[in-house]
Amino acid sequence: MGYLGFALIILSMVYSLRKRRWLLRGGGMTGWLWLHHVAGFVGGLLALGHTLGNLRGLGVWLAVALVVVLATSGLSLIEARVTAPVRRAVAEVGRRRAARDALDRSYRELLAKGTAWTYEGHDIYARLTAEIEAVKKAEAEAEHLHKSSPKLHWWLPVHIGATSAMFGIVAVHIWAKLALGGVGL
């Protein structure tokens, strides 16, 4: 269980390499994130099962680190679901601003030509005025959603810290097994 769990955890770390484009460039990030979650979770459960057979010494600390890593993994999914409305609202603000800017450019062109007083000019001006109000409303909605959404940004540093601790403990565990002839810590 220990070998397979460790191998799956290492496989889950490939996502970090892909995310930063260090070694890997192919595939969509959604698939890599799915691999990270599944391999990390299953590998963590296997490593935890391996550790529970030896809850003394480093085994206790490894179990604690694994539980923290696994618990904070679920928070990433919750955070993605909680922040989705905020991301959609921010995208709507961007779309509204682009529409406003296009109308503004059109109206300024008519002003430069001296034809802003025509039917077309009045129509663009009315649409521009409505779009300015729509931008203000969309910005207020995005700001409200941002302020009212739960702040779960703390989970990632905890997840990375616990993962780093887990790797340190596993490294000492593997070294002890190899250096001390099969006697673990």
The pLDDT tens digits for 89-122 are 999 999 999 999 999 999 999 999 999 899 999 9
User: Are the CB atoms for 5 and 45 separated by under 8 Å?
Assistant: yes
Q: Which two tokens stand for residue 21?
A: 């484009």
On average, the pLDDT of the chain sits at 83
What is the Cα–Cα distance from 130 to 104, expressed in whole angstroms?
Answer: 12
Place of tokens 């025509």: 118
Whether residue 144 has pLDDT greater than 90:
yes
DSSP-derived secondary structure letter, 115: -
Query: 139-150: b or e for each residue (b if 16 or more CB lie within 10 Å)?
Result: bebbeebeeeee
Whether residue 184 has pLDDT greater than 60:
no
Highest mean pLDDT among 45-49, 57-61, 76-80, 119-123: 119-123
CB atoms within 10 A of CB 46: 19
CB atoms within 10 A of CB 102: 14
